[in-house]
């Protein structure tokens, strides 16, 4: 017969309703006071953890800045520069010690958290606030495999991703991800980024900002998962718990990242628009090219003002007069370009029998191209 080990329940603090109290003491009030005190202790402990995480994050940021400073000063030749380099190295060393100290404090806090007894509050929380998944290590994916994976995922869940992108309230986002945990992944974050850029290109600025907010939500969850070394689907509730209870400094960090992301989206959208405009202009230019491969607009802009006026008024005789006043070499150059661009074409004259006359040695006659407007 299999025996049940009940010792796992020994570390649970749920004795509020079993304590013996003096008859003259209001027992319900006593229990409420005890419960309130425990809740305050838990909140203080949780806030301490948040503060330690912020301190570690700030220490890492300062260390990175110091390392960049050292790198900039390396190879210094002057005495003053060498002194600055030495000071930067000392600062880097000190900041590295601070980082290790913060990491040690955070690890101790997490160990202490695991040792804390359960109580009526922690037992009554949702049962699946954290999922532990047995994931086998996988080989590095190629770019082609990643692209195909993203394409397949989007084709299957595009509607759900868009729905998540339109949510506004923390609770709604958490509920939707609880119902659809498969959305907590890199593919969703990548699609939301593209969605933001598309909306900005379409000049739907307010909608872009809304989706950008959800994009940062997903990216923060993924970053939290990396720091905890767990599957993102198992820690997204921790993110919402942190963001809803965090102090102003944590909220400011989220908002700063959101604003930076929106600026990057606007920049990418601007580049895309400029590229599209360039491609459109190139396509339109190719459509305009004349029989000689020249652009009539560019040719028109390069003509002398007298010739431009002839095209503006569409006067053939005026064109002949303007040509006669130019140097023969210059006149030949401009007229050849006009013909190659399709602005004007030689007028083919036929006799009564329909046979083509021999071309005259003098200046050729020209007629206007009806479909080619120089303007």
CB atoms within 10 A of CB 1: 2
Average pLDDT for residues 135-143, to the nearest whole number? Answer: 62
Cα distance between residue 253 and residue 242, in whole Å: 12
Average pLDDT for residues 136-141, to the nearest whole number? Answer: 60
Identify which has the larger pLDDT, 38 or 55. 55
pLDDT of the residue at 300: 85
- In 3D space, the residue among 130, 100, 97 whose CA is nearest the CA of residue 113 turns out to be 130
pLDDT of the residue at 28: 58
pLDDT of the residue at 163: 94
φ/ψ region of 133 (left if φ > 0, alpha if ψ in -120 to 50, else beta) reads: beta
Helix axes 27-73, 248-288, angle to 10 degrees: 50
Q: Residue 303 to residues 54, 64, 186, 345: CA-CA distances in angstroms?
A: 67, 60, 57, 16
Cα distance between residue 179 and residue 160, in whole Å: 11
- For the CA atoms of 213, 215, 221, 222, the dihedral, rounded to the nearest 10 degrees, stands at -160
Q: What is the pLDDT of residues 154-196, one digit of tens each?
A: 899 999 999 999 998 999 999 999 999 999 998 999 999 999 9
Work out the angle at residue 281's Cα, subtended by the Cα atoms of residues 275 and 285, and round it to the nearest 5 degrees.
145
* DSSP tag of 302: H
pLDDT of the residue at 357: 42
Cα distance between residue 335 and residue 299, in whole Å: 10
Quick one: tokens of 275? Answer: 């590229």
Average pLDDT for residues 68-77, to the nearest whole number? Answer: 72
Cα distance between residue 258 and residue 262, in whole Å: 6
Residue appearing with tokens 């809740």: 39
- For the CA atoms of 43, 45, 51, 55, the dihedral, rounded to the nearest 10 degrees, stands at -170
Q: What is the pLDDT of residues 94-128, one digit of tens each?
A: 988 888 888 888 888 888 877 766 555 554 444 44
Average pLDDT for residues 293-306, to the nearest whole number? Answer: 84
pLDDT of the residue at 373: 46
Quick one: tokens of 158? Answer: 């595009």
The mean pLDDT value of the chain amounts to 76
Contact 189, 219 (CB under 8 A): yes
Cα distance between residue 335 and residue 94, in whole Å: 77
- Tell me the whole-structure pTM to 2 decimals: 0.47
Contact 177, 201 (CB under 8 A): no
Confidence of residue 329 (pLDDT cuts 50, 70, 90): confident
Confidence of residue 132 (pLDDT cuts 50, 70, 90): low
Average pLDDT for residues 201-224, to the nearest whole number? Answer: 91
């Amino acid at each position: 017969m299999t025996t049940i080990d009940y010792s796992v329940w020994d570390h649970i603090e749920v004795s509020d309703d079993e304590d013996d109290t003096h008859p003259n003491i209001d027992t319900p009030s006593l229990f409420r006071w005890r419960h309130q005190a425990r809740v305050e202790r838990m909140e203080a402990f949780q806030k301490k953890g948040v503060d330690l995480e912020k301190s570690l994050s700030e220490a890492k940021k300062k260390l990175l800045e110091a390392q960049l400073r050292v790198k900039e000063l390396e190879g210094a030749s002057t005495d003053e520069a060498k002194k600055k380099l030495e000071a930067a190295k000392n600062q880097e060393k000190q900041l590295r010690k601070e980082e290790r100290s913060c990491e040690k404090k955070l690890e101790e806090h997490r160990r202490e958290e695991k040792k804390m007894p359960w109580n009526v509050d922690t037992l009554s929380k949702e049962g699946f606030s954290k999922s532990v998944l047995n994931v086998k290590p996988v080989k590095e994916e190629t770019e082609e495999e990643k692209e195909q994976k993203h394409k397949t995922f989007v084709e299957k869940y595009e509607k759900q991703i868009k729905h998540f992108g339109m949510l506004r309230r923390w609770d709604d986002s958490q509920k939707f991800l609880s119902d659809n945990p498969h959305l907590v992944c890199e593919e969703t974050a990548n699609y939301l980024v593209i969605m933001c850029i598309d909306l900005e290109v379409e000049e739907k600025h307010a909608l872009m900002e809304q989706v950008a907010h959800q994009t940062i939500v997903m990216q923060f969850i993924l970053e939290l998962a990396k720091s905890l070394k767990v599957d993102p689907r198992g820690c997204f509730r921790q993110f919402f718990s942190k963001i809803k209870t965090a102090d102003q400094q944590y909220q400011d960090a989220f908002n700063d990242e959101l604003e930076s992301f929106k600026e990057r989206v606007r920049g990418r959208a601007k580049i895309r628009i400029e590229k599209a405009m360039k491609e459109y202009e190139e396509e339109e230019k190719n459509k305009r090219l004349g029989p000689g491969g020249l652009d009539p607009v560019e040719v028109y802009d390069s003509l002398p003002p007298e010739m431009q006026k002839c095209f503006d008024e569409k006067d053939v005789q005026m064109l002949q007069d303007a040509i006669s006043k130019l140097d023969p070499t210059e006149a030949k150059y401009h007229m050849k370009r006009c013909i190659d661009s399709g602005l004007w074409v030689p007028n083919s004259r036929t006799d009564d029998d329909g046979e083509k006359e021999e071309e005259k040695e003098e200046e050729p006659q020209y007629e206007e191209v009806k479909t080619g407007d120089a303007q």
